[in-house]
């Protein structure tokens, strides 16, 4: 029996780990999954709610790292992960995505000679000012198996000199979760609890990347443009905890509380506490438009067929532009205004899901791992 240790650290990781855990449960005679939560995200709304909704087992280990600078957080994960690796001595470690925990655990595996597989390998924005880009590059250089979500991932890895035999095009585990949980998110009560008529047009907004939210001037320019757009339709904004206090203190949001009995206003920028997975996907699935700086949301909107405007200068997921509903528009307020109004007037037409985004990526990953000798 192979012992396979899976690492989850931050909110985006849980939706990627979940389908792999579900698939491994079908192969319980062949593999023993060990789940390690680094605690990079630890707030109930950013962590525990996902374990509950995704029906993940309690982690075998929780490193409880918490917040800190990128360097501090990466170092703390490494220090706390090493004893875990020595304790369990797994046959494989699976790291997912591009957060600090992904790189930190891959580095420890490299130092101790433990085989590591990277799920969502090969994605490149070609912008090294993004901490996630550094995490991707270094994790892929260390990994023994690289599971890619789109053909650009394979091309990037080959260009960087990765041995082709290490690279496997398996599809997208985020889409596995989206498809497998469709009956549950379609049954979400979020519209009733928000007092929102899903037939009335609305947009969804997310912002969390440091270049957009840590500089007060940049953030205020964005919010000014978005508030202007919210005169056309309500813009529902689940707010990252570190952004909430600043925006509330400046009076830029109408704050809404779930189950308050009050209806969402027909216009305006409406702030919410972070939502769980099922509520958020339900809300996004019926939106006229999504504006975001998230990577995963670009993928989810592509499969849902919802227009997406990415508030960044680059994307590491080009298939969401070439085959999906995503456009990368940057952060210039004037362009955001123009592109949003154009998209509302002439929404893009989906051309179908990218290759292998069929809900079977986790099954391919587990089969490849179990087929590996040793």
Q: Using DSSP, state whether 238 is helix, strand or coil.
A: strand
Q: Which residues contact 332 (CB under 8 A, 6 or more apart)?
A: none
Between the alpha carbon of residue 64 and those of residues 42, 74, 131, 179, the distances in Å are 8, 13, 21, 31
Identify any residues that bridge with 289 across adjacent strands, giving them in sequence order: 203
Q: From start to end of 40-102, where are the E strands?
A: 61-62, 92-96
Contact in structure between 103 and 14 (CB atoms under 8 Å): no
Is residue 208 annotated as part of the catalytic site, yes or no?
Answer: yes
Kindly tell me the sign of the dihedral angle through the C-alpha atoms of 69, 72, 298, 272: negative
Name the active-site residue from 208, 232, 246, 252: 208
Q: Tokens for 184, please give them.
A: 């549950």
DSSP type of residue 268: S
Catalytic residues, by residue number, are 208
């Amino acid at each position: 029996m192979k012992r396979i240790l899976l690492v989850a650290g931050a909110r985006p990781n849980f939706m990627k780990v979940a389908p792999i855990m579900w698939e491994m449960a079908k192969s319980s005679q062949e593999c023993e999954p060990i789940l390690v939560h680094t605690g990079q995200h630890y707030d109930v709304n950013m962590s525990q709610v996902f374990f509950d909704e995704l029906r993940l087992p309690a982690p075998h280990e929780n490193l409880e790292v918490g917040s800190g600078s990128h360097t501090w957080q990466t170092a703390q994960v490494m220090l706390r992960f090493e004893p875990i690796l020595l304790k369990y001595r797994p046959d494989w470690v699976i790291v997912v995505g591009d957060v600090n925990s992904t790189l930190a655990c891959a580095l420890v595996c490299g130092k101790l000679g433990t085989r590591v597989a990277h799920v969502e390998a090969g994605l490149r924005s070609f912008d090294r000012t993004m901490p996630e880009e550094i995490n991707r590059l270094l994790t892929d250089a260390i990994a023994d198996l690289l599971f890619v979500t789109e053909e650009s991932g394979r091309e990037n890895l080959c260009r960087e000199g990765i041995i082709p035999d290490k690279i496997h095009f398996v599809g997208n585990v985020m889409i596995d979760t989206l498809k497998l949980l469709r009956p549950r998110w379609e049954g979400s009560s979020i519209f009733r609890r928000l007092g929102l008529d899903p037939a009335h047009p609305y947009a969804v907004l997310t912002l969390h990347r440091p270049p957009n939210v840590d500089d007060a001037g940049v953030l205020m320019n964005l919010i000014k443009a978005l508030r202007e757009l919210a005169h056309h339709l309500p813009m529902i904004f689940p707010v990252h905890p570190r952004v909430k206090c600043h925006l509330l203190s400046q009076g830029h949001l109408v704050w809404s509380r779930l189950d308050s009995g009050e209806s969402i206003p027909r216009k305006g920028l409406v702030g919410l506490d972070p939502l769980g997975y099922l509520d958020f996907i339900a809300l996004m699935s019926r939106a006229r438009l999504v504006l975001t700086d998230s990577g995963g949301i670009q993928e989810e909107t592509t499969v849902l067929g919802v227009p997406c405007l990415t508030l960044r200068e680059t994307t590491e997921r080009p298939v969401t532009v070439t085959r999906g509903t995503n456009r990368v528009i940057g952060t210039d307020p004037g362009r955001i205004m123009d592109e949003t109004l154009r998209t509302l007037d002439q929404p893009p037409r989906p051309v179908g899901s990218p290759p292998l985004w069929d809900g079977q990526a986790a099954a391919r990953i587990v089969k490849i791992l179990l087929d590996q000798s040793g």
